[in-house]
Amino acid sequence: MKNKYLTILLLSTSFLLSSCHKNSEDHKNFKNEPLVITSGKQSDENYNRYATGEDVNNNPMIQLGINELGIRVKYTMLGTNYFDYIDKIRLALTGAEELPDVIPVYDRQFLGEIIQSGKVKILNQDMIQFMPQRLKNIYKKKQETFDPLIINGDVYGLPIAPALGETQIMIIRQDWLDKFNLKAPTNIDEFETVIQAFSEQDPDGNGKRDTYGFSYSGDGIYSTGWVGDPVMLFSAYTGKYIPGNWEEQGDGKLSYGSLHVGNQQALTKMAAWHQKGWLQPNAGIAKDWNALEEFRYGKSGIYVGRAWSIENSKDILDVDPKAKLGVYPTILQNDGQPTFQRAEENDGWFLFNKDFENMEAFFEYYDWLYDLAFGTGNFKYGYLENSDYDIVNGKLVFNPMEFETITTNKGFDPSKASISKNRIYIDQMKAYYRIQEGLKPQNYLEYKARDMQSWLPERVAGGAIAYNHQNELITDKFRGSLPLELVDTWNRLYDMEHDFYTRVIYGEVSPTTFPDFVKQWYQQGGTQITDYVNQCYQASMEGNDER
């Protein structure tokens, strides 16, 4: 009897223990299981750069998020390019596919479209409740970047990394300039002289006429805003009224820059240059990067772009080891005023699936990325050792060619694996300016800039020029997006504009038909759009934004 009781007691204890053990295991597993945040990504920019067995969802940056925060970012919607990516989002909006938790968007028109779909989360409460103070301070200084995200007082997303993008500079083959005893152009006439010499006087000395002065992208509106930009040629005649931007015309109303009468002069010049073979022959179909590519292959003598592009265009040294790069501000207008270019105030927008419930975790991850900009946490020298930087024999190095273990000159880029797509900065240009001025480095970018002075000084000098010319960046004064009923009209006008500009440059249409183009633009729906844009502008000026 005694034994019977003993057995029952033992069995009960073992059940109790086993059940306790099971509960404890479950809890442990749950706690150890990283919180998954799904996201969209326009393209995998680390393609070809992963180590064996790694991919977009399994790489050192994703692992770092898991190790340090217990957050796994998982890209469930991956495009091959931006247009492919937004096609996928559009499909998901119909319910055919699942929308990810985080939806990064990079153009304002699509931003409006997705907000109007009603499938996007309103962030008012989450921002108050969960946003870390550091992020609040950053956004407080750049409140205007929220404009396209606010409808009737509701906030539908977050601007990504609000900070002024770098001013574009002119990158020139300095060795070609020196060969012909020329100085870097400062106005349109000098620019003409230089591109003529670069095209007609055989700067590469191969006995063939296979070079030209200037490469640019003409595949869209003639203002790219970041690389391969021809906008300075237009701004030389139009000032602040640059193609693609809405600008105040003096009576409190906005007008569309592409319609400014000065563009006719710019197009006349470009058509003449194109006919003489002084411009990139296929510029009309060249994407932004293609302009850089032409420079890198030693075909073009000048391109305009942000100074970071030098990290790619320096590869001209593989083609011509004697090549030298010169960095200069963009040309001036004939009256000595600067030419202007499109400003980028943030790197796209984060939108969130309306069913997403982990905003606190998202904010934690996003704030963590900001350690890089502040030189805090584990990101003082970069996101990852041996990717952003390396310590070789006790020395901090940023040149991938000097890393101990890297095997190509373009290794895995942790920033491209992060949810923000690019590195996050507070004032990128200032970092180069500070280092150029000999000040002590304080964060990743400044440490890198200091190191770069020994192996890519043009990049640092270019960044400092960009800082000194940041007043040449002008923002689009229309910050909203068009309603769906005007989107088709706008797309038609966009195509019409691109087609007209390209036809003029390629000699198909005379520049003198510019007034007809403007008239047609208004007749085909431009008047309605201008009215709408001005209504929004007036409303935002009066603080009565009803978009």
Stretch that binds other proteins, among 82-90, 138-146, 195-203, 366-374 (CB under 8 A): 82-90
Phi-psi region for residue 394, left (φ > 0), alpha (ψ -120 to 50) or beta?
Answer: left
Binding to other proteins by CB under 8 A, coded x per residue (else -) over 306-325, reads ---------x--x-------
Position among 292, 332, 351, 373 found at the interface with other proteins (CB under 8 A):
292
Task: Using CB under 8 A, pick the residue from 274, 423, 469, 479 that binds other proteins.
Answer: 274
What is the distance between the alpha carbons of residues 246 and 226, in angstroms, rounded to a whole number?
Answer: 18
Contact status, residue 524 vs residue 517, Cβ threshold 8 Å: no
Q: Are 465 and 181 in contact (CB under 8 A)?
A: no
Considering only residues 483-502, where is the footprint of other proteins by CB under 8 A?
502
* Angle between helices 457-468 and 444-455 in degrees, nearest 10: 130
Interface with other proteins includes 519 (CB under 8 A)? no
Among 25, 507, 512, 546, binds other proteins (CB under 8 A): 507
Sole binder of other proteins in the list 124, 282, 334, 512 (CB under 8 A)? 282
Footprint (CB under 8 A) of other proteins, residues 100-129? none
89 token code pair: 């989002």
508 makes contact with other proteins (CB under 8 A): yes
Can residue 80 be called a binding residue for other proteins (CB under 8 A)? yes
Question: Shortest distance, CB of residue 287 to other proteins, whole angstroms?
Answer: 6
Write the binding mask 441 to 480 for other proteins: x where contact by CB under 8 A, - elsewhere: ----------------------------------------
Q: Residue 297 or residue 490: which is nearer to other proteins going by CB?
A: 297
Q: Which amino acid is at 387?
A: S
Binding segment for other proteins (CB under 8 A), chosen from 126-134, 183-191, 244-252, 269-277, is 269-277
Residue 329 binds other proteins (CB under 8 A)? no
**Judged by CB under 8 A, which stretch of 59-67, 124-132, 401-409, 527-535 contacts other proteins?**
401-409
Cβ atoms of 461 and 325 closer than 8 Å: no
Q: Which of 50, 130, 139, 289 forms a contact with other proteins (CB under 8 A)?
A: 289
56 binds other proteins (CB under 8 A): no
- 417 residue type, one letter: A
In single-letter form, the type of residue at position 102 comes to V
| DSSP classification of residue 307 | G
Binding segment (CB under 8 A) for other proteins, from list 13-21, 139-147, 273-281, 430-438: 273-281
209 scored as a contact of other proteins (CB under 8 A): no
Render 7-32 in DSSP notation, one character per residue.
HHHHHHHHHHHHHHHHHHHHHHHHHH
Residues 459-495, buried b or exposed e (16+ Cβ, 10 A)?
Answer: bbbbbbbbbebbebbbbbbbbbbbeeebeeebeebee
Asked if 308 and 344 count as a contact pair (C-beta separation under 8 A), the reply is no
Q: Is 310 exposed, middle or buried (0-12, 13-18, 19+ CB in 10 A)?
A: buried
Q: Distance (Å, rounded) from C-alpha 356 to C-alpha 110?
A: 20
Gap between the Cα atoms of 157 and 502, Å rounded: 36
Q: Which CB sits closer to other proteins, 111 or 505? A: 505
b/e code 205-243 from CB counts within 10 Å (16+ = b): eeeeeebbbbbbbbbebbbbbbbbbbbbbbbbbbbbbbb
Among 354, 410, 492, 519, which residue sits at the site for other proteins (rule: CB under 8 A)?
Answer: 410
Interacting residues toward other proteins by CB under 8 A: 45, 47-49, 80-81, 83-84, 87, 274-275, 277, 281-282, 284-285, 287, 289-290, 292-293, 315, 318, 400-404, 406-410, 502-503, 506-508
